[in-house]
Each structure stands twice: as structure tokens, then as C-alpha cells.
Amino acid sequence: MLAVLSPGQGSQKPGFLTPWLDVTGTEARLRWWSALAGVDLVHLGSKADADEIKDTARTQPLLVAAALLAAEHLPMHDVALTAGHSVGELGAAALAGVLPAETAITLAGVRGREMAAACALEPTGMAAVLGGDADEVLAALDAHGLHPANRNGAGQVVAAGSVAGLDKLAAEPPAKARVIRLKVAGAFHTPYMGPAEAALAEVAAGITPARPARILLSNLDGAAVDHGREVVQRLVRQVTAPVRWDLCMRTLADLGVTGVIELPPAGTLAGLIKRDLKESGVPEIVTLNTPDDLPAARDLIARHGTAPDHEPTIRFRVVAARSAGTFKPLDGLTEGEALRAGQVIGHVATRQGQVEVTAHDSGLLTEWLAHHDDPVAPGQPLARIGGQQS
């Protein structure tokens, strides 16, 4: 099985689209998409410097446009799975057939502008926490009022929140962990982005999405989402919800993905996969950065790709905590038992009382990811549900 991945903010480099402008029709397409996004994608992709393409309002539509441009030159009908990191999810949704390319570009423009505006409301930021015990890292974030905005795999959590909280984290890092401040405009994927989520939701309400034509993974919980409206709802919610790329990579391994193409600007996601999937087996990877990489990408699809069919496929979904606290699974509920949508599977004990944890879909309780009295953070996975879909 082959997966095509769309990278997120931070992967861009000055001039990375320049080689693509020599491909017939590329510049005209970018001019059209620029009108939809409200930014000059040709300039940003070829002549803008690092500071200019670091601007959230410009970067987000640029990254989505880059992924869609490159994918136009691939035989996507033989690709079984797509996924994207953060704003890359918009590109992945378009490649999965949920959204037209023009809609994805327009949403990226709105998302970027509104997130940039939200960043200006109060001083916030982000920092990478490298190493340390995962539970201790999450506990340290919670102690300083920070959020785990990105969980990119073993040994890498991105903390986000107030500048004061980040300063405290840097002064008192978790044991065996390094804290590196990131040059970003604010606390992405946290409640600080609430105004941006609300603005994006208003625009997204007018979209008529299609059902995915191939497997599409969600950053929310690593699930393969099979309804277009749910995809759009998750895309909106992801503005304030943590990016669980670790769970997306786990689903890649669960589904037996053997080949991966990372779309431009490629390299970041490939590096995470190489590091995180060592034990389960690293798939063959092609980083597609210039038109010169297209033959290798097409060859990988020819050897690993198969068009998705309508036979039942395994669906993996993860139930995540909505609040910080202590997890208590339902007494007597064991792995392998059948669950129904809405069934209570446990509680998170918080300072304000108990918060129910429910299964959001029917299926089998395939694995507990948290156990009795484990401390959990918002967005942390608690249980994995597997089932059949047709």
C-alpha cells in the first residue's frame, strides 16, 4: 500500500517552487490560485525570502498549493492513502477527493489569515521538547499551563501557550529533555486559536464535501475518516486541537503501508517516519521536491500502489481525552469487546468532577492506550477502536 503525504508549516524553504515554474501550465495555475488565496503564490514560491514565507497568512496557502501542484503529475488513481500534517490536511483532503483543489486553496487562505490574526491578540509561542519521559513532559506542560500542540512521534512534543509559560518550561525543563523555542507567530493548535476556528467554521459551513475516494487519515486521532462532512468538521476543529502525527504514523504501520511519497517541500515527514517506524519497518520513501524527482515517485507508485476498491477495509479510530485529569476505564470492559457509538468506556477525573469518555463509533475495543489512574492530558489517546467499513 502506498501513501502520499502533504507537509505542514515550517517545511517551506525560499525558492522551493522555482523548478516547478518551468513545467507548462504551472505559473498560470498558481496565478489562479493566488486570486483565491489572496496572496501572490508565484512570488512566494520563487522569490520571497525566509522571513516573508514565515508569515502564517502566506505560508499556509503556499504549502497547500505546492502539494497539489506536484500531485497533479502523479497517477493518484493508484494511491490508496493520503494524509497531511496540520495545514497539509487541506491538501490531503483535496487529494482524497473530499474537496476540489480550489476549495482547499481558499480554505488555506482563510485559515492562514485568521490564525495570523489570532496570534496578534496576545503574546504566545511554541517550543519543541526533545527527549524525556512522555508522561513527565506532558505533566510539565500542564503544570505551566501549556498545551501539547504537536506530538510528532517518540521523543518530540511541541509545547504551546503563553510566553510566560514557555519561559518557565525552558527554565525548568523535564528530566533528560531539551526545550528549543520555535520561531513561530503564536500558539497554533491550542485554545488561543479559538477566533480562527470560529472564522474558518463560518466559511466551511458553505462547502459541500464528497466522500473520500481513498483512505484519508486525520491529525485529530490518526483515524481513517470516511465521511466528507466529518472530514470538514475535523479540519475546522484541528485549528485548536493538537496535531497527533504520532497516531497517523501508527496507523500507517497498522495498515501495512510499504511506500510513501512526501510532496513538496518534502523531507520533514520522511524524517519523522524513518525515526518512528524503525521497529515496525520503515516504508520505502521518495521525497518529491522538484520535477526531477517525478520519475522516482511514479516508479514507487507502480511498485507499491493499488487503486482503492469498495471491499471492506479495517478502520482504526482513537478515543481521546477531552480534559486533563486521571483516567479510569469502565470496570470490567476488556480488549476485544464490542462497543456501540456513544457507549461510556470510562471517565477522566478532573478538579471539576468526572468527565465521561465515550466511544464515538461502533467497533471492537482493540487496545487500551491508557490505564487505570494514568494521568492524561487533553487530546491524549485513551483507547483504540477497530472495525469494518464498506
Average pLDDT (294-318) is 74
- Tens of pLDDT, residue by residue over 51-94, are 999 999 999 999 999 999 999 999 999 999 999 999 999 999 99
353 CB-near residues (< 8 Å, 6+ apart): none
For residues 306, 216, 151, 127, the Cα torsion angle rounded to the nearest 10 degrees is 110
Q: DSSP letter at 285? A: E
> Residues spanned by CATH 2.40.50.100 within the chain?
314-389
pLDDT bin (cut points 50, 70, 90) of residue 388 is very low
CATH number of 314-389: 2.40.50.100
Q: What is the spatial distance between Cα 257 and Cα 306, in angstroms, rounded to a whole number? A: 11
CATH class of 124-181: alpha beta
Q: Is 86:189 a contact under the CB 8 Å cutoff?
A: yes
3-state helix, strand, coil in the chain (%, to 5): 40, 25, 40
DSSP string, 104-166: HHHHHHHHHHHHHHHHTSS-EEEEEEEES-HHHHHHHHHHTT-EEEEE-STTEEEEEEEHHHH
Q: Is the peptide bond before 265 cis (omega within 30 degrees of 0)?
A: yes
**pLDDT, position 363:** 85
User: Long-range contacts: 298-301, Cβ < 8 Å, 24+?
Assistant: 298/74, 298/75, 300/2, 300/259, 300/261, 301/2, 301/74, 301/75, 301/78, 301/79, 301/259, 301/261
- Tens of pLDDT, residue by residue over 171-193, are 999 999 999 998 888 999 999 99
CATH architecture group of domain 2-119+191-309:
3-Layer(aba) Sandwich (3.40)
CB atoms within 10 A of CB 1: 18
Average pLDDT (227-233) is 92
pLDDT bin (cut points 50, 70, 90) of residue 341 is confident
- Tens of pLDDT, residue by residue over 206-215, are 999 998 999 9
Residues with catalytic roles: 86, 189
**pLDDT, position 386:** 77
Q: What is the spatial distance between Cα 45 and Cα 28, in angstroms, rounded to a whole number? A: 14
> Residues spanned by CATH 3.30.70.250 within the chain?
124-181
Classified as helix, coil or strand, 322 is coil
Asked if residue 313 has pLDDT above 50, the reply is no
pLDDT bin (cut points 50, 70, 90) of residue 352 is confident
Amino acid (one-letter) located at 186: G
pTM: 0.79
Q: Please state whether 144 falls in left (phi above 0), alpha (psi between -120 and 50) or beta.
A: alpha
Q: What is the spatial distance between Cα 278 and Cα 269, in angstroms, rounded to a whole number? A: 14
- Tens of pLDDT, residue by residue over 268-283, are 999 999 999 987 788 9
**pLDDT, position 350:** 84
pLDDT above 90: percentage of residues in the chain: 74
Give CA separation, 276 vs 134, 158, 260, 376, in Å: 14, 16, 14, 22
Mean pLDDT of the chain: 91
Higher pLDDT, 366 or 146: 146
Sheet holding 313-320, edge to edge: 313-320, 381-389, 363-368, 338-339
Asked if residue 360 has pLDDT above 60, the reply is yes
Q: What is the spatial distance between Cα 260 and Cα 282, in angstroms, rounded to a whole number? A: 10
